[in-house]
Structures are given as C-alpha cells and as structure tokens.
Chain A
Amino acid sequence: MRPQEAVERALSLSRADDCVVIADEASTANLRWAGNTLTTNGVTRSSRLTVIALRNTADGVAAGVVSRSAVGADGIEELVRAAEADAAGNEAAEDARPLVAEGPPSGAAGWDDEPAETGIGVFEGFAPALGEAFAAAQADDRRLYGFANHVLTSTFLGSSAGLRLRHDQPTGLLELNAKGAGGSAWAGVGTRDFTDVDVAGLTGGLARRLEWGERRVDLPAGRYETILPPSAVADLMIYLYWSAGAQDAQDGRTVFSAPGGGTRVGERLSDLPITLSSDPAAPGMQCAPFVIAHASSRESSVFDNGLPLAATDWIREGTLASLAQTRHSAERTGLPLTPAVDNLAMRGPDGGASLEEMVARTERGLLLTCLWYIREVDTQSLLLTGLTRDGVYLVEDGEVVGAVNNFRFNESPVDLLSRIAEVGETGPTLPREWSDYFTRTAMPAIRVPDFHMSTVSQAT
C-alpha cells in the first residue's frame, strides 16, 4: 500500500474527534571501513505509520500516539483503534491546541508522487574513489577508517483538519579518518547525494595533517589561545541549540533562565555581532519546512504538526533572540512562536577570515581538528566536558610547528560566546560528535583566547 493511501485510509477509519497521521518511508545505504578495507555495509528499507488520535474531554484534548512499522492494509484499522484506546485512557494534554489547518504552500507539492528512495547505487561514483584512496593510503603506509551513509526519508503528513503535506529529506555524510606516522587526522562532510564529495581532496588534506603530526610537542593542561575549526564549533553550538527550549527556560531550569524568573531572551551574550540561526530553505541544508512531531516533548508538540517553519535567529548580532517553542510554550512565555528547525548556521561579521588566514595570524596557539564525547557537567552554566581528537596542532608565528597531545576540555558554549576573539568565514561542516543526529550545519572557525584544557589525555 502506498503511504499516501495509508494516510487516507487511517484518517477515514478514525472515530476520534481529530486525527493526525504521519507515514515515513525510509531507505538507507552505507559503507564502513577500517584499516584500508571494508568492514560492514548494508541497505535497508523501512516504513512507519504513526497515528495521533485526539479526544475532546471536559478539560481539553487528550492524545493517543501509536507508531508501527511495516503496517499492511489490513493492519491500519487496528493501529487506529490502538491510538484511540490510548487517547481514551489519557488525560487532557497540556500542549493541546487546535490542529493546524494550513501548512506552507510548498509543503503540499508532490503529495501523489512515489516516495523517494536511495540504495547502494548512491555510491556509484564514490566507491571507486574510495577504493583508490585505500590503495594510495596503503602505498604510503597510512590507514583509512570511516563511514559513508545515505538516508532518504519521505514523510507524508495528513490530518482531519485537511492538511496534506509531504517532505523528502536526503541526509548523507562521509567521515574519513587517517592514521599513520603523524598520528591521526579526521575530515567529515555532509552531503545530500554524494555527487559533491571530493574524496581525493579530503584525503589530501588528511595527508597534510599527518605530515604536521610528525613532530610531537607535549603541553600541559591550562588555558590556551585556541582556534576551533567549524566542526568543533558546530558540536558546541548544537548543544547550545538543544538546550534552548523555551519551556524549560521559563521553568527556571536551563542556562537560558533569567535568575529572577522568565527567560534571558533579549540579553546580550556576545560583544561580537554573532548570529546563530536556522532556515529550512538554507541552500545545501534544506530541511522540512513544517513541523513533523511523532510525539510530544518539552520542545515539540503533536498538536503543532504541519505548522510552517521559517528562518529563525536564535542569537541575533550577539543577543539571545529566540528559544525553541511550541504554540503551548509560546503562550506561556509570551514570546514569538519559533519552533525548532533541523539545521543550524553561525555567522560573524562580514569578511571573516579562512581557517588558513586565522592560523597565519596566530602568534602562538592551538589549532584543533574536532571534539569528542561531549557531555553536560552542569546544567545551570551549560558547562560541557569532552576531548580533543584526531589532531591538536601547535601554531607558532603563523605556522603549524607540530602535533600536541590531546586534552579534556571543560567549557560552556554560552560562556564561550562572550570570550570569542575572532569569527572566521562560515561554510558547510559536519559536526563530529553529533553527526548521528544532526548533519546540516554551516559554521565558522572561531578564535578563543583562553580555551580551558582541563587535563591531558594520553589518547593518540
């Protein structure tokens, strides 16, 4: 059964007061390698049907949400009844709001078309290039490790309020890790279809970094002038973004809570004109232009399904401008409705320098490659810990002079905003730590005069 038909069938079978149905059709293809050889691979297909049954009660509206994979035509009624049974047993939901009647105009396009699909063929041009990279690495006594993944999800959203919205989301990533005499180096890119992935360019960059690493320098823990490249900045800003829920801030339990009550929206976080934003139409980072919520949480609401999304500044010119909202939390906080969007970009003043230019004007400092195992230590300050990984380099008089030991850092991305000394040019990047969940980012490199390297890590 086609997903569009499944949505219509579920809606027509519904006996609830209102109903939302989401059908997701997904296909994936992946290659994984280690030590210049393939280790695992695979292709998958899946389908999921989520029924959100809504029941009017004396106190409001109760929701029942049931999600099942591989539902055939004869299983839809049982799924609908299961959602209705859950709705019958549940109390009125706090986040209940009238169903969205109109999504973005572009959201309905292609409703009747077949779901998009990927397969092992997406690597048609990439796999031979990878094979050549393995051979070259082997010849140069280097080892390549990494992962290429492509996911294509077609989502069909229908509701008893008349919504019919569709979104096709391609999500691809490549991670390349090289090891050799110069230690370890990493590069990663996000992609929509792998046609834009330059394997030779990436491995060339890794070889250069391994050359840098042939001279080793031991440094103690401490605060160092540090250039964080775009991938590292992405990982820190994503955590900040995930912590920017309006409801929790209003409840007084996040770094964005004002000490006397309310939120910190409107407060200046950086003296530099830094802007952190999301835009569903951002070129190369396109994502769903409407809310798709399979379950309610603090930052999303099943009642908001289909709500149009727009370009949103979270931090504008250094000032906290918005927090992630549902309609429910927007009413509670009295702030504009700004739901979360599935991409993130950071920009500084115009004319930001390239990473190479930033290195060239560094008297003495550290250049990182990426961050790893980032976890929250303290919620109130959003203190995060984590480690440097796959290349920390010492820069002296504008030149990389060798590779430094790894460090554990303890830093808050919110506090960092107030200490950034320079923001480079923004470009697409892949967050190393969070690429499982978040790939669509564009970030600059940043210079921090006193990045806190808390302890030394022996890892090489």
Chain B
Amino acid sequence: MHDIDPAFTALPLRALADAALSRARELGAQHADFRLERIRSQTLRLHDAALETALDADDVGLSVRVVKDGTWGFAAGIDLTPEGAARVAERAVEVAAVARAVNREPIELAPEPVHGERTWVSAYETDPFEVPTADKVALLAGWSRLLLGDDRVDHVDATLLQVKENKFFADLAGTVTTQQRVRLHPVVNAVGISGGLFDTMRTLAPPAGYGWEWLSGEHWDWDGELARIPELLAEKLAAPSVEPGVYDVVVDPSNLWLTIHESVGHATELDRALGYEAAYAGTSFATPDKLGTLQYGSKVMNITGDRTAEHGLATIGYDDEGVQAQSFDIVSEGLFTGYQTDRRIARLTGAERSNGCAFADSSSSMPIQRMANVSLRPAEGGPSTEELISGVERGIYILGDKSWSIDMQRHNFQFTGQRFFRIENGRLAGQLRDVAYQASTTDFWNSMEAVGGPQTYVLGGAFNCGKGQPGQVAPVSHGCPSALFRGVNILNALKEAGQ
C-alpha cells in the first residue's frame, strides 16, 4: 500500500479540524463534520497526435457541515489556518440560522460507530502524477500516429484524465479518516470520413481505479484494441443501416455498464425515491412500497452495491460522513431488495445504519447521497459471450457506450453504442449502423434470459456522473458480464431524424 501523499499530510489537518469543530460546538451545533480535500488532476487531449490541452490542476480547501437547531448549515473556504477554519465553521452556523426559517423537517442522522483514527489508500502501483507529462503525451501521440498511419482513419482524438484524491475527515463524534485514491480514464477516438458519411470508433477500455499501470498493457490489451479500430471503423462506415424492429440482443459489458448505471444505479438511490432530487435529476419508479415485492428483473438478475470492490471508482474506506464502506444487495434473483443510502436518508426510513454512500466531489461541495459501485453478478460457470450469441437466431450484439438518456423516474431509456453486429443463426454477420435500443426499465431487465460467466465480467464505469444542485460529479464503477435480452425494441437513429 502506498503512503498518503506527504504534501497532503504536511497540511495542518488536525489543527484545522480541531479549530473548526470546537468552534461549531461552541456555537451550539448538535453535529459537525470537517473535511479537508486536495484533488490533483491532469487533463491531456491530443488531436491528430498533436497536444491540444495539457492542464494540471490542484484544488485544496476545507469545509464544515453542521446541524444546528435541526437544520443543515454548510460552508467552505480556502484559508488553511485555524482562524480561517473557525470562520468557516461560524459561516456554516450562520447559514443554518438563515435556513432555519424555511426548514420544516428536522435533520437527524442514522448512527454510525465511532471508528477512531483510520487511514485508507486505494490499490494502485504507480502514481500517475509521478510519470513525466512528456512520457504520457508521447504514449498518446504514438497511439494516435499508429491509427493515423492507416488510410481508413482521418482524425484521432486521444484523451487522458487523471485524478489523485486526498480526503481528511473528522467529526464531533471522534471519527478521523485520512484517505487517498487514484483513478484515470484513457480514451482514443478515431474518425473516418467516406462517401459523404463520417463516423467514429472509440476504444472500449473503461476508466479504472488503477495507477499508471492501467496503460501499460498488463491489465488491458491496448495494442490489440488499437489494432482493430481502423478495420472496425471502415466496416462501420460501409455497414447497412439497421431495420427498426424487435430483436434479441446480446449486450457486452462495455455497453451494459451504462444501462445498469442509469436504470438501476440511479433508480435505487433512496434520496431520489423519496423525492430529494425531484426538481433536478428526478425521482424513481422504485419507491419504498415496492421494496421486497417488485420483480425488477428476471431470476438471473443479481445486483449489488459495493464500495469495497478493488479498483472500483466509487471504492473507498470510509464515506464522506465517516461511514465504513460496505457491500449490500440491491436486486436478488430479480427481486428489488435494497437501496443506497447516506446517514440522513437512512434515518428518514428508520434504517439502523447508512450503507455508506455519501460523497462530495470537492471540499466546496456538501456531501450528498451518491452511487456505490453498482454491479450485475455473473453466473458461476455461466456461458461465454460467444455461447450467448450462439443462442440467438436473429439479433444484435452491442458493444461500447455512446449516447444515453432516461426519463426522470427511470422508466423509459434509449441507448446507443460504439459497435453493433448483426447476429444471424447464432453467428456474427457484420456490423450495422444507426442502432439505438429503447425500453422501459423493468421490461428490459425482465427480458434478460441469461448472464455470462465470470470470464465475461468487466468493471466499467464513469468518471463524471452528475447529480445534485449545485451540481456535483462522482466517479463510479459498474461491473457486469455479457447478457442476453429477448425482444428488445431497436430504433434506427437516421429514420428517427427523418432522414
């Protein structure tokens, strides 16, 4: 395990926390927690192998959240002195006082054991911020040139996002955590222009909670993936447009992760189900009265929320309320069995404990309930992707994510992808263009006939899942196997556009 970054531990973490928490206590706060975060990030973007963006950012700040007279108060600042931290605590209490006038529901938090002092670091080998930028640019430029060297590729965009996140948390109860995690997201996108058409073909490598080793080829076959792109792109440009209708589909993990994210991950956030996101991202059809009775999907559907999965983007030791990370069931054999919660939301429903889903995307954000790594379990000894495809007479095999949209109660969704292969009599028969699949959440998941075995399982995910007002972004992973769905509505995107 790596040590916590000494540049972070050199900050006066305890002194600032003590100053803020003691001031909040003096001012009558019933609950107070303090966070100091440092988020280093680097964005590299290359266009046609030339560096376009190289932005290094380093954000540090502190915040105090209080409950005073049953009302939240939150303030954030950047003065890293004990006096500055105390002033932020004062402002949080002032905000609670102003807000008290329009608050009609006292804030209470579900209990959490006091964990004392804990340190947690995510699993990675090489800190990407220790790799020279020139080496990273050279790698991306090399990949780009490789693709540009093929005359079937007209343009190449290469992007690499990298984050190193340090969080220090302390609350009045006595939990003190210091944590560190690393994540990165490489994407290479090739553009082809032919016969009045243009299209793109992107790498399927997911973002991951790894270090620089994620790009070394040890964990992902970059050479193989890049080598296939020109052929795939050319074939896609020449492919026939899909005939809309009802098809059986085999969905690859590189596409299915996003469907899980939108139709299960967000739908089973309890704050949404209770209406706390109603004005913005919306509520959920999966209301508490359906817990334990709703047949969310078929019997082969088993979904867990997990903040402990190694290399997961939402993986952490303790959440942003000091709750220890946990793994829990959301859908069991198709039955809706669990929600994701934070302490406030857990308390509202009488739960004994939060399952650890509070997250703030920076020191200046108030923690809100965010997604755990929500994943679909593979079938032990289950089929390969090829075996799933072999069971389809007329269908489509879908890989890679592209466009996604779902309604504000998580019923009606429409997704596209990167690659669509026609399946005829159990075999792949070339690509199709313009495919979008559209369904209602429970219809779709109940049409899932089979899931693949562990050999098909991939941990996909997103760097920037948006939620909340003010808007916050959260990293989250979704593991899943390949899966077979029967009778899915396929739209033709071009015909939808009236062309």
Contacts and interface: CB of A to CB of B under 8 A. Distances in A.
Nearest to A252: B193
A381 B499 contact: yes
B405 A375 contact: yes
Nearest to B41: A67
B137 interface: yes
Contact of A90 (B54, B498, B499): B54
A40 B436 contact: no
B78 A375 contact: no
Contacts of A44: 63, 75-77, 364
Interface stretch (A30-38, A102-110, A312-320): A30-38
Nearest to B132: A89
A120 B94 contact: yes
Contacts, number: 268
A436 to B, nearest CB: 5
A64 B132 CA distance: 13
B95 A389 contact: no
A420 B174 CA distance: 62
A130 B102 contact: yes
Interface string B60-95: 110100000001111111111000000000011011
B155 A251 contact: yes
Interface residues of A, number: 94
A94 interface: yes
B75 A460 contact: no
A149 B470 CA distance: 7
B103 A177 contact: no
Size bracket, chain B contacts: 35 or more
A120 B98 contact: yes
A260 to B, nearest CB: 8
Given A454-B491, A457-B411, A376 B403 contact: yes
B279 interface: yes
A298 interface: yes
Interface stretch (B45-53, B216-224, B307-315, B475-483): B45-53
Nearest to A188: B279
A43 B412 contact: no
B403 A385 contact: yes
Contacts of B76: 42-46
Contacts of A415: 497-498
Given A383-B493, A454-B438, A37 B408 contact: no
Contact of B412 (A36, A38, A459): A459
Contacts of A385: 403, 405, 414, 436, 496
B75 to A, nearest CB: 5
B409 A37 contact: no
A69 B102 contact: no
A334 interface: no
Given A38-B99, A43-B95, A297-B45, A69 B75 contact: no
Q: Is the interface of A mostly helix, strand, loop or mixed?
A: strand
Given A37-B105, A131-B101, A295-B43, A259 B56 contact: no
B366 A387 contact: no
A15 B234 CA distance: 48
A143 B274 CA distance: 13
A128 B101 contact: yes
A45 B363 CA distance: 11
Contact of B77 (A45, A66, A458, A460): A45
B58 interface: yes
B493 A378 contact: yes
Contact of A455 (B57, B133, B412, B494): B412
Contacts of B134: 89-90
Contact of B78 (A46, A379, A411): A46
A295 B52 CA distance: 9
Interface string A106-141: 000000000000001001000110110010001000
A389 B57 CA distance: 37
B469 A69 contact: no
B197 interface: yes
A147 interface: yes
A114 to B, nearest CB: 16
Contact of A70 (B60, B275, B434): B60
A373 B405 CA distance: 6
Given A38-B102, A253-B155, A295 B55 contact: yes
A39 B436 contact: no
Contacts of B496: 377, 383, 385, 410, 452, 454
B4 interface: no
A34 B197 contact: no
A90 B407 contact: no
A43 B75 contact: yes
A23 to B, nearest CB: 13
B59 interface: yes
Contacts of B95: 41-43, 120
B162 interface: no
A42 B198 contact: no
Contact of A295 (B53, B61, B196): B53
B191 A375 contact: no
Given A69-B58, A69-B59, A458-B411, A33 B102 contact: yes
B405 A380 contact: no
A406 interface: yes
A455 B47 contact: no
A68 interface: yes
B440 interface: yes
A374 interface: yes
Contacts of B12: none
Interface string B183-194: 000000001010
Interface in B460-497: 466, 469-471, 489, 491, 493-494, 496-497
A31 B134 CA distance: 44
B285 interface: yes
Interface in A363-398: 372-381, 383, 385-387, 389
B294 interface: no
B440 to A, nearest CB: 7
Contacts of B105: 35, 37
Contacts of B239: none
Contacts of B354: none
Interface string A446-458: 0000001011111
Contacts of A455: 412, 414, 438, 489
Nearest to B157: A298
A389 B73 CA distance: 31
Contact of A377 (B59, B72, B416, B471): B416
A86 B134 CA distance: 8
A297 B52 contact: yes
A440 interface: no
A179 B366 contact: no
B403 A375 contact: yes
A261 B486 CA distance: 43
A408 B94 CA distance: 44
Nearest to B141: A91
User: 5 nearest interchain CB pairs?
Assistant: A42-B74, A145-B279, A410-B496, A70-B78, A37-B104
Interface of B: 43, 45, 47, 50-61, 63, 71-80, 91-92, 94-96, 98-99, 101-105, 132-134, 137, 154-155, 191, 193, 196-200, 275-280, 282, 285, 364, 366, 368, 403-412, 414, 416, 434, 436, 438, 440, 466, 469-471, 489, 491, 493-494, 496-499
Given A42-B95, A86-B133, 6 more contacts: A67-B57, A91-B50, A120-B94, A146-B279, A383-B496, A408-B414
Interface of A: 28, 30-48, 63-70, 82, 86, 89-91, 93-95, 120, 123, 127-128, 130-131, 134, 138, 143, 145-147, 149, 175-177, 179, 186, 251-253, 257, 259, 294-298, 372-381, 383, 385-387, 389, 406, 408, 410-412, 415, 436, 452, 454-460
22 contacts: A39-B72, A44-B63, A44-B76, A48-B59, A68-B58, A69-B60, A127-B101, A127-B102, A175-B280, A251-B154, A252-B154, A295-B43, A373-B408, A377-B416, A378-B493, A378-B494, A380-B198, A385-B496, A389-B408, A415-B497, A459-B407, A459-B410
